[in-house]
Amino acid sequence: MADPCLLKFVCQLGTCYLMLYVEDVAIIGSKMAVAKLKRLIQEGFQICETDESKHYLGIRITQTTSPRTITLDQEEYSEELLKSLRMSDAKPLRVPIVERLHSRTEAEGQFDSGIYRSAVGKLNWLNVSTRPDIAFTCRELAKNLADPSPRHWTAVKTLAKYLRGTTFALKFEDKGKPWVVEGYSDSDWAGDDETRRSVGGYTIFFAGNLIAWKSQGQQCVARSSCEAEVIAITELVSELLYLRQVTDYLGLTKPETQSTSLFSSASRVSKNSGKPVEEIVKLYGDNQASLKLLASSTAIARTKHMDVKYKFILQRSRDHNQKLGYVRTNEMVADVMTKPLGAAQHHYLLNKMR
């Protein structure tokens, strides 16, 4: 089992998958297998069901058949959130955050931590579910949960104004791309002015569709931008290992023969073969020094302290056919996870995630 909240049910009638969050359940799979699983659940529990999922945990699910797409959004949740903050009629903004947030100073007053925590918690649910564009902002807000100031509450309202003026949805469709996993990793070296820790982030795409993202402060102080990038790539590789466990557990298969010309050594899966997807995983970074270091099989004295981290990446890269590649900084989609950006660059990268 790759995830305790994701279960697979296999019977003679077919296969289906059950996603569980406390008492909310979503089931997907063949109709007969789903019907049988429902009957088994009803033998022990009283359930309230719908024929087709329209909402799940505040996420609206929209399905179309021509073309076949699944869209996830939280526009209704966002509207309710703005109402709770009394920001429904606020003037929209084009960026979620203007500058990094520092801790409250002695000269500043305190703000009600209960109200602040409640608002940040609601905003963070947007972040982890369907809004990668606010991941960095939510991280900055969460740093000050224990001792917020009116300045931090102003940052909450700034984010609310951004939500008032922007929409974003996760759309899963056949974009005609190979079934390849692509991960983008970035870091902002010593970006935290108070601790001098770097902020790392990543975005992961499958067949051109965004499936995972994260913005997180690194646990140690990096001595160079190269080291900060290595740490960020390590986090990306760790997440990719987890996703591989999930896809292996699901028995993910490719529905039809498709050329994988993007990477000549990637394998093909023929129609109805039933074999799991076995494609190259492509990792992208925008720091040449870190990529060259990871491509080298030898350590040098100045990088000895990083040896464990990058040897882990090298080992996993060889085991799981992962390849490292370079992308220019202005094209690095994970950049939005690590620092405040101007409106033009922020929306340019946001459109690359759609």
For residue range 72-85, what is the model confidence (pLDDT) as tens digits? 999 999 999 999 99
Per-residue b/e over 21-45, b at no fewer than 16 CB within 10 Å? eeeebebebeeebbebbeeebeeee
Structural contact between residues 79 and 60, judged by C-beta atoms closer than 8 angstroms: no
**pLDDT at residue 37, rounded to an integer:** 94
**pLDDT at residue 254, rounded to an integer:** 53
pLDDT digits (tens, 9 = 90+) for 48-63: 877 678 889 999 999 9
pLDDT digits (tens, 9 = 90+) for 4-47: 899 999 999 999 999 999 889 999 988 999 999 999 999 998 88
The C-alpha atoms of residue 46 and residue 275 are separated, in whole angstroms, by 37
Q: What is the pTM of this model?
A: 0.88
For range 215-227, the mean pLDDT: 91
**pLDDT at residue 263, rounded to an integer:** 27
For range 76-98, the mean pLDDT: 96
Burial class (CB within 10 angstroms; exposed 0-12, middle 13-18, buried 19+) of 141: buried
Q: 159 versus 249: which is more confidently predicted?
A: 159
CA nearest to 217, candidates 141, 297, 308: 141
**Is a pLDDT exceeding 80 seen at residue 318?**
no
CA nearest to 167, candidates 60, 54, 52: 60
Phi/psi region, residue 22 (left: phi>0; alpha: psi -120 to 50; beta: rest), is left
Among the residues of 86-224, which ranges form H helices?
Answer: 113-129, 135-142, 150-165
For range 170-178, the mean pLDDT: 88
Strands (E) in the chain, as ranges, are: 6-11, 14-21, 24-29, 55-56, 59-65, 68-73, 170-173, 181-188, 199-206, 209-217, 281-285, 322-326
For the chain, which domains are there? 1-49 (no CATH), 75-165 (no CATH), 176-353 (3.30.420.10)
Q: pLDDT tier at 269 (50, 70, 90 boundaries)? A: very low
**pLDDT at residue 268, rounded to an integer:** 37
Structural contact between residues 248 and 168, judged by C-beta atoms closer than 8 angstroms: no
**pLDDT at residue 297, rounded to an integer:** 62
| CA distances from residue 81 to 111, 159, 182, 302, 321 in whole angstroms, order as listed | 19, 11, 33, 50, 43
Q: Which of 59-63, 124-128, 176-180, 233-237 has the lowest mean pLDDT?
A: 176-180
The C-alpha atoms of residue 277 and residue 266 are separated, in whole angstroms, by 10
